Structure 1
Amino acid sequence: MILMCLGVLISPSLLSIAFPGMPPLFRSEEVLQVFAQLGAVILLFKVGLHHRIEGVFRLDNVLVATAGVIFPFAAGYFYASMAGGSFAYSMFIGAALTATSVGVTVALLREFGLLEKRFSQIIIGAAVIDDILGLLVLSFVINVAGGADSVAPLLLTAASAAIFIIGGVLAGKHFVKYLDRGWDGGSALLLSLAFMLTYAYIAELVQLSAIIGAFLAGIVLNQSRHREKIDSGSASLELVFMPIFFISLGLLIDVNALWLFAVPIIAITLIAFFSKIIACALASLLAGLKKLEALAVGIGMVPRGEVALIVASIGLTSGILDSSQYSVIAAMAFLTTLAVPPLLMRALEAPRMGK
């Protein structure tokens, strides 16, 4: 949270108010975003190293993810429609509220030493499935809002995601055998990092998030005899790049928009919060979690982060959203990400949660 606030303090929008005429601190935002993305990729890769593929696509994870997509989408669409938004705009608002950006939550769970707890496993697994479902929702929205009368792009997106995950696991097993048989020490670490980046790149090619590819790479390498070396060896990279990821989330916020569009920002942010918490917490209760654990799952699924920004940027470039509407979604993404750490910490510190 501190790093995100630091990002806001050095953001171009705030510096232009405090110091008119001052050039931006970062002349190449593209380079900064590459480093930020790398931080998120390494974070999820290391989390994947401690998970098995069968533990991700469990029924309870699917239940939480499905509830966490359907309810926020419906709530966002209903609000935007009632506020007088067009059909296409309402669809994009709904889509922006679906997918979870789990990087902040994962970092906090790891800090508390709770990554191995069942509710943490549900958060991580559901967030991965949530991302895939969110991608399908976005594909559907783009087609419907654009007036397309074919479901082919939606089916293609679903097929690409399925092929990548299944093919990635099968190919990964062969890679692990090769890695364990012929490599050791530093060479194994370098090959594993190259493997991670390859999966992240392929995930982007099939329109999944790079962090999903990195997470899948980590899951595959969970079976390697080099797992501990890979985990400890990548820690120094995480130390360098992960702070950049959190700072970049703050840099993206337009401070002016917080004042100019305060009412819609507050409304959409509240909808984003409560729709996700209620849907995911109730689904977690159905999955057998205790009340505090279910609440932690609901809070942990709240951050929208860069996922919502991707949806908003597509809406902006397609002409469905204007700059003010983009700013509203961007502010919602930042606020949901910023507020989760203190709320989740409070839930995790409750006496009955324990370690």
Structure 2
Amino acid sequence: MLSPTIFSGSLPGLTDFVPSLSLATTPEADYGSFVLTGVLMTLVVIYAMSKLGGELSKRVGLPPVLGELVGGVLVGVSALHLIVFPETGATAADSSLMLFLQQLGGLDGTALEHIFASQSEVISVLAELGVIVLLFEIGLESDLRELSKVGSQAAVVAIVGVVAPFLLGTVGLVTLFHTPIIPAIFAGAALTATSIGITSKVLSDLGQLKSTEGKIIVGAAVIDDVLGIIVLAVVASLAKTGEVDLLNVVYLIIGASAFLLGSILLGKFFNQGFEAIAAKLKTRGALLIPAFAFALVMAIIANLIHLEAILGAFAAGLVLDETDLRKELDRQVMPIADFLVPIFFVTVGAKADLGVLNPFESANRAGLVIAAFLIIVAIIGKVITGWAVFGQPGVNRLAIGFGMIPRGEVGLVFAGIGSASGVLDKPLEAAIIVMVILTTFLAPPLLQAVLNKPQDPDVPADREALEKSLSV
């Protein structure tokens, strides 16, 4: 779940391209070429660290996505400062790439800040597109009929995975640390999150997306995301007014349920029209472009009704999974995902500030004590969800619990909103960030440890079987 505000605002100067970089301070109309240069340099760093981190991670037997996250940390705010973002409190002067660009173009401070803000927004939008494509791809690889068989189990897992950490976290903070009730509720809400993007990518890498455990985890993560939107709305209302807007909560519940169910029910009618359109088109992209257009329309609709864009993309993938063209579409989506998805994972790592883990900083110590409590609750509150599964003898309960652990960008959204509203003090904010970071990095190796790896770790079993079928 990502903040929809990432799409807001303008991208000044992006259309005002000039043929070459000037070595003098440029007027605002010429910022576009520097924004483009900054974006391109950032993408070079992202792709280099994505491949380097992914390859090293694979060679030591860990999921490649973990290497991408670590690669992001190395180039982000915690280490090299090559990729930093304004929402983390960074300025253009904190970015090594921006300082290089300043030297290259002879830019003054005002121009550099303008370019930094625009460049960061472009990368953030590309990262959002990356997770939209990822969830669209996951939807295509998910069998709706098979998901429906574990729907009740997934719902129970999701509910337990929201209620248990929320209650444990909130009550524990109030009783053990004497935290005021509203900040405690906010921290408890941050514990409810599950990053479907990270978990589903690990499952896909391990070839376990269509296993019973994989289907339960993905289904639960989708429901968890919907519940997370509702929880976020509640705590955001608390932060602003000190009271909950019940009408807004009811609206979100009805809207999320109607959107997902309606998308699936209307899918049968849409699929026939989609196949007919694809058959009539004779130019390149006859299948891929209509499919992506549909995914983006679904993402837009979800965003407009105050849900998350990624839920719309996932629903679009589920709908198109029912078409006879699904295998060919899945093959065509792969290179698009390979291009955009790494941007998402590297930027998640780049935004993680490991400085809050430094115990030698006195300002961090109170937060680290609270963080230790939150991490224990974060792990226990999700691991117990595996024992909420019923009617599935022999299911790997630890795998389900571990698959629900990562908070990722979802937890960072909660921390960001809490910080912006002034509800969280520094120790509690630092504790939430530490919890988010550690659960994000712990989940992939834990999940791999309890699941069987595919024969070739380079090619997930689901994709390997798909590619073999297409080559026949």
Give the TM-score, by structure 2 length. 0.68
* 1:201-222 deviation digits (Å, cap 9, x = unpaired): 2222333222221111100001
* 1:123-160 deviation digits (Å, cap 9, x = unpaired): 00011011112222222333445333651111111121
Alignment-mate amino acid for residue 195 of structure 1: F
* 1:137 paired to 2:228: no
Distance 2:392 2:322 in 1: 29
Distance 2:192 2:210 in 1: 25
Alignment-mate amino acid for residue 442 of structure 2: A
* 1:23 paired to 2:95: yes
Q: Contact conserved, 2:141 with 2:330, CA < 8 A, in 1?
A: no
Equivalent position to 2:381, from 265, 275, 296? 275
* 1:264 paired to 2:370: yes
Equivalent position to 2:316, from 196, 217, 239? 217
* 1:183 paired to 2:269: no
* 1:9 paired to 2:74: yes
Q: Contact conserved, 2:370 with 2:428, CA < 8 A, in 1?
A: no
Higher mean C-alpha displacement, 106-115 vs 22-31:
22-31
Structure 2 residue ranges without an equivalent (≥5): 1-65, 83-92, 99-115, 359-363, 454-460, 462-472
Distance 1:75 1:249 in 2: 27
Alignment-mate amino acid for residue 369 of structure 2: V
Residues 1-355 of structure 1 mapped to structure 2, 5 A cutoff:
1-15=66-80, 23-25=95-97, 27=116, 28-53=119-144, 55-56=146-147, 58-81=151-174, 82-144=176-238, 146-148=241-243, 150-184=245-279, 186-259=285-358, 260=364, 261-278=367-384, 280-284=385-389, 286-290=390-394, 293-322=396-425, 324-349=427-452
Distance 1:160 1:347 in 2: 36
Residue 310 (structure 1) shift: 1.6
Distance 2:391 2:420 in 1: 40
Structure 1 residue ranges without an equivalent (≥5): none
Q: Contact conserved, 1:119 with 1:289, CA < 8 A, in 2?
A: no
Alignment-mate amino acid for residue 47 of structure 1: I
Distance 1:183 1:165 in 2: 24
**Structure 1 moving runs of 4+ over 6 Å:** none
Residue 255 (structure 1) shift: 2.4
Larger radius of gyration: 2
Q: CA 1:287–1:153 in structure 2 vs 1: closer, same or farther (change >3 Å)?
A: same
Q: Contact conserved, 1:15 with 1:22, CA < 8 A, in 2?
A: no
Q: CA 1:178–1:347 in structure 2 vs 1: closer, same or farther (change >3 Å)?
A: same
Q: CA 1:283–1:114 in structure 2 vs 1: closer, same or farther (change >3 Å)?
A: same
* 1:314-343 deviation digits (Å, cap 9, x = unpaired): 222222124553333233222111111111
Distance 2:432 2:96 in 1: 23
Residue 265 (structure 1) shift: 2.4
Question: SS of the counterpart of 1:90?
Answer: helix
Distance 1:212 1:257 in 2: 32
Distance 1:196 1:149 in 2: 33
Distance 1:244 1:323 in 2: 29
Q: CA 1:207–1:308 in structure 2 vs 1: closer, same or farther (change >3 Å)?
A: farther
Q: CA 1:255–1:112 in structure 2 vs 1: closer, same or farther (change >3 Å)?
A: closer
Alignment-mate amino acid for residue 242 of structure 2: G
* 1:99-127 deviation digits (Å, cap 9, x = unpaired): 21122222222222222111110000011
Residue 290 (structure 1) shift: 2.6
Distance 1:195 1:97 in 2: 33
Q: CA 1:229–1:247 in structure 2 vs 1: closer, same or farther (change >3 Å)?
A: same
Q: CA 1:149–1:161 in structure 2 vs 1: closer, same or farther (change >3 Å)?
A: closer
CA RMSD of aligned residues (A): 2.3
Distance 1:163 1:316 in 2: 32
Alignment-mate amino acid for residue 40 of structure 1: V
Q: Contact conserved, 1:76 with 1:268, CA < 8 A, in 2?
A: yes
Residue 23 (structure 1) shift: 2.7
Aligned residues: 345
